[in-house]
Structure 1
Amino acid sequence: MKSRAAGGATRRQAMAEHVLRQGSASMTELAETFGVSVMTVHRDLDLLESQGMVRKYRGGASAQASSIFESNIAYRKTAQTAEKEAIARHVVGLIEPGSSVMLDDSTTALAVARHLDEAAPLTVVTNFLEAIKLLAPMPGIRLMALGGEYYPTHDSFLGVACVDAVEAMNTDTVVVSTSAISDRHAFHQEQEIVLVKRAMVAAGTRCILAVDHTKLDRVALHRVAPLDAFDVIVVDSNAPPEAVQRLRDRHHRVDIAQVGEA
């Protein structure tokens, strides 16, 4: 019995990795790939969905975001990595040593966290567990962790307790990312995330919105904030020039991070 359970766990892990790697997969494809029945795939996907690994839909499963659901953290960490790296280096260049910085639970902010030692000494505040683990041993970083209810899909702490903790602070700089922006608003799919991001935007003396080019000219279910709430919008150099110009025409400061530059 134990070996069968272990085999099922191994199969589900491989199935999750398959969906994460491809972005989505049909029930039939998964059944053929793993040599099991469609009914077994249904049961496996139910469990993977309950763990926040994939999103099940009629006929298959997806790791990709939609206007209603955000993608799993494991999938987001593999997407637009070069663009996020460029954005992160640019954002760190905007941060003054000796200041305080608040980071949200986006993978773009995680890329920023990897380079914060370059601007040390800093006080860094975040609700993102992976960022906390990354920053904890970093020299010159005074780390403050925001608590709340842990959400494995996002690997972060959210909820009322987190919002309350954010609202009790004011940092020199806040760095957030969102799933979509139009030429007027920043959006996100999930209300628990939205409430924390809104609180963070209000808790910063200066707010930086860091978004890669795939987030432009899109909307999602919930408005996070008007773009006027951000002092700087940082996008990567793969952003369509016409989309950047529309943002600038609205009197937004838009910085371009050059992809591929060290």
Structure 2
Amino acid sequence: MPDRGTSDQGTSDRGTSDRRGPRDEIRRGPSHRRREISDHVLARGSVSASDLAERFGVSVMTIYRDIDELEREGVLRKFRGGVTARPSGVFESNVAYRKTSMRREKAAIAAEAVALIEPGMSVMIDDSTTALEVARLLPGIEPLTVVTNFLEALNLLADERGLHLMALGGDYDPLHDSFLGVPCVEAVEALRVDLCFVSVSSVSGDFAFHQEQRIVAVKRAMLKAADRSVLLIDHSKLDRTALHRLTPLSAFDLILIDDRVPPDTLRSLDESGVPYRLAPT
């Protein structure tokens, strides 16, 4: 007679494998499946609907219903035959995906950025994941006033006694984990800071671009509120397109970029006359 304990353990092992059967998915329910679909796509960037159907042991029609709901929530985006977490010229990617992208480059840029900060300054950071890396390095630079609309940065710095933390309110946007809209813009306009760090989705020619108008409005207000502004960009954002033109590169006092920039692009920056600094990775 087979040992029940061994049989149950084998069932458990199969339940945690890469392929789950239909009974597993029925028991787990659609909400749990959608969370796992989201995690899977965020880890891989893009996945086909047929691959998801096979992985989760459900029909392609069910997967498309899941994808529709995840797109409605702003977590993922559909494309023909599948779903993606990657950005496009019109949509920015989810903050969870952006945090996994170009991490080494962003950390190198942040290390260069904090060298510009001195105790006693007021510093504003936007809701970019590159600026989040700057936020991780702020404890220890005291005293310091930090202003941001990025909820994750606020939570990260909330317990740091040496920092005076100012939250920019507005309409909470779960896709970006930040506060946006007219209230946020008005809150920024009421301030004046020493230094502002922002990032963008793309740089093309002599301009910085972003996909979303509501993000553009907040970033423009931040740049106007600062005595000095610094653009933080990794090399993957160069020569890409995005829908909205944010500002000329000449609006920034300095551009910080990782050292994996192609030589042709560096020549373009030299010709623009915009000061830049390469962050060694």
TM-score range, shorter chain: over 0.9
Aligned to 2:210: 188
State the shift of 1:27 in Å.
1.1
Aligned to 1:13: 35
Deviating above 3 A after TM superposition, structure 1's stretches of 4 or more consecutive aligned residues are 3-6
Correspondent of 2:78 among 53, 56, 60: 56
Percent identity over the alignment is 56
State the shift of 1:183 in Å.
3.0
Rounded to whole Å, the distance in 1 between the matches of 2:81 and 2:198 is: 35
State the shift of 1:118 in Å.
3.7
AA in 2 matched with 1:123:
T
Rounded to whole Å, the distance in 2 between the matches of 1:92 and 1:40 is: 48
Establish whether residue 234 from structure 1 lines up as the match of residue 234 from structure 2: no
TM-score, length-normalised on structure 2?
A: 0.89
Aligned to 2:123: 101
Structure 1 residues 34-66: Cα deviation after superposition (integer angstroms, max 9, x where no partner): 110111001111111122211122311110000
State the shift of 1:173 in Å.
0.3
Rounded to whole Å, the distance in 2 between the matches of 1:99 and 1:183 is: 32
Rounded to whole Å, the distance in 1 between the matches of 2:145 and 2:267 is: 34
Establish whether residue 141 from structure 1 lines up as the match of residue 163 from structure 2: yes
Which is greater in Rg? Answer: 2
AA in 2 matched with 1:180:
S
Specify every segment of 5 or more residues in structure 1 that has no aligned partner in the other structure, as ranges: none
Rounded to whole Å, the distance in 2 between the matches of 1:252 and 1:171 is: 22
Aligned to 1:87: 109
Rounded to whole Å, the distance in 2 between the matches of 1:249 and 1:8 is: 54
AA in 2 matched with 1:220:
A
Correspondent of 2:243 among 221, 240, 243: 221
Correspondent of 1:174 among 196, 201, 210: 196
Specify every segment of 5 or more residues in structure 2 that has no aligned partner in the other structure, as ranges: 1-24
**In angstroms, what is the RMSD of aligned CA positions?**
1.3
AA in 2 matched with 1:178:
V
Aligned to 1:161: 183
AA in 2 matched with 1:160:
V
State the shift of 1:111 in Å.
0.4
Count, aligned residues: 257
Aligned to 1:116: 138
Retained in 2: the 8 A contact 1:170–1:204? Answer: yes
Rounded to whole Å, the distance in 2 between the matches of 1:224 and 1:15 is: 33
Establish whether residue 131 from structure 1 lines up as the match of residue 153 from structure 2: yes
Retained in 2: the 8 A contact 1:99–1:122? Answer: yes
SS of the equivalent of 2:29 reads helix
Structure 1 residues 199-257: Cα deviation after superposition (integer angstroms, max 9, x where no partner): 11111100000000101122210011100100000000111122122112211111111
Correspondent of 1:34 among 37, 50, 56: 56
Rounded to whole Å, the distance in 2 between the matches of 1:18 and 1:199 is: 36
Retained in 1: the 8 A contact 2:140–2:162? Answer: no
Change (3 A) 1:87 1:118: farther
Retained in 2: the 8 A contact 1:175–1:210? Answer: yes
Structure 1 residues 161-212: Cα deviation after superposition (integer angstroms, max 9, x where no partner): 0001111111000100000012300000011111101111111100000000
Aligned to 2:274: 252
Retained in 2: the 8 A contact 1:244–1:254? Answer: no
SS of the equivalent of 2:139 reads helix
Which has the larger displacement, 97-106 or 133-142? 133-142
Rounded to whole Å, the distance in 1 between the matches of 2:170 and 2:131 is: 19
Change (3 A) 1:119 1:31: same
